[in-house]
Amino acid sequence: MSSYLITCTPAHGHVMPLLQITRHLIARGHEVGFLTSPRYAADVAAAGARFVALPSEADIDLDDADAAFPERVGLTGPAALRFDMSNLFVRPGATQLAAVRAELAAGHVDAVLTEPLFVGGALLQLLPPSERPPVVVLGIFPLGARSRDAAPFGLGVTPMAGPIGRLRNAVLRTIAERAIFGGIQREADDMARREVGRELGGFVLDWAGRADAYVQFTVPEFEYPRSDLPATVHFAGPLPSPKSDRTLPAWWSDLDGSRPVVHVTQGTIANSEFGQVVLPTISALAASDVLVVVSTGGRPVDALPRDLPANVRVADYLPYDRLLPLVDVMVTNGGYGGVQQALAHGVPIVVAGQTEDKVEVSARVGWSGAGVNLRASTVTPDQVGDAVGKVLNDPAYRENAERIGAAMRDTDALSTLGDVLDASVREWVAAG
């Protein structure tokens, strides 16, 4: 059996899928250390892994970044992206690398498993092979590998075929890397020179495509085609929906198939302001012959207004393995995991998310034909109502969602991950 170190930036949406992977690896008999914030120490211990604390300099609560950086409040557009890339991801990289190096020095590690926004992983993979184990990226966000066939990651720009499309991508890449994020790239390269003696070797957001292996948790049908995809990238399919033994809400029997079911959620983190997606959806569909099922993502149910329309059902959490087979349309702000779970059940989507990786998730929903991308983070009832009506009335959306879902159901993400890890460790040992 092998010994793995999993490294993760301190954000709920990053930690939870990596803990799912952790539980699988431990069940297979592997040893796992998990490097992240002490806020998740109990979760790591519950998964059976050895908790390793990030140093305080790198322990930024990404779920409440405004509290750590008051100057972040009010920033929008490129200014907000630059601030987050610098302060939340690039600058902690050196301290992250130091923590990883300390673990490698303390005991044998067969491979380091990391998510793409853990910049310490980008620095680690620059070290000579004699000084580190293989670095395996866990693709829990849309694929970020650089390609002549795709626009730069983070812009939410969908593919354009042919020579004109490649020219457009090259121009956008130059603008993104040299103008919009040029300062961030210089900062990252300066840090890499200080820490490991050389530059990153490419754009900081593309580093995962240069890792020893990249396990992307989706299927090619939900990714942009790339003729130059690195051989190190392996499509594994989505992580399976966690099985839930939660008590079902009292209204569950209303999901009897007598009318369409529209599920709306803003996930478990970006749900402090339900006026972005949830309330507009409730308002839009109040007079419709549909059942609107709301998940508050852990927030108290009474965070919503008391006088909800008669066709609305609410719960703090809902078991997706049981709910999604009953859903006709999902309205979401674009969390990668939730979108993929919906597609795995053939559920078409209306998506409204333009922040973080959500802009890329939303773009893929629209591009794939599996739903409607509203191209906004806060939407109006008219926008949601029109989009839901379009998805319900046009069978092409469900057909495309089912096409992607069929491909997803034909995968075994955790088995593929195990195969990639086994191969990576064998190849590394053989290379000496």
pTM of the full predicted structure? 0.93
Place of tokens 């929008």: 76
The answer to whether the CB of 174 falls within 8 A of the CB of 183 is no
Query: Per-residue pLDDT for the chain (432 aa), expressed as one digit of tens each?
Result: 899 999 999 988 899 999 999 999 999 999 999 999 999 999 999 999 999 999 999 999 888 888 888 898 877 667 777 888 899 999 999 999 999 999 999 999 999 999 999 999 999 999 999 999 999 999 999 998 999 999 998 888 999 999 999 999 999 999 988 888 899 999 999 999 999 999 999 999 889 999 999 999 999 999 999 999 999 999 999 998 877 777 899 999 999 999 999 999 987 665 568 888 999 999 999 999 999 999 988 778 888 888 999 999 999 889 999 999 999 999 999 999 999 999 999 999 999 987 778 889 999 999 999 999 999 888 999 999 999 999 999 999 999 999 999 999 999 999 999 999 999 999 988 886
Which tokens sit at 328? Answer: 């006709």
**CA-based nearest residue to 334, from 269, 280, 273:** 269
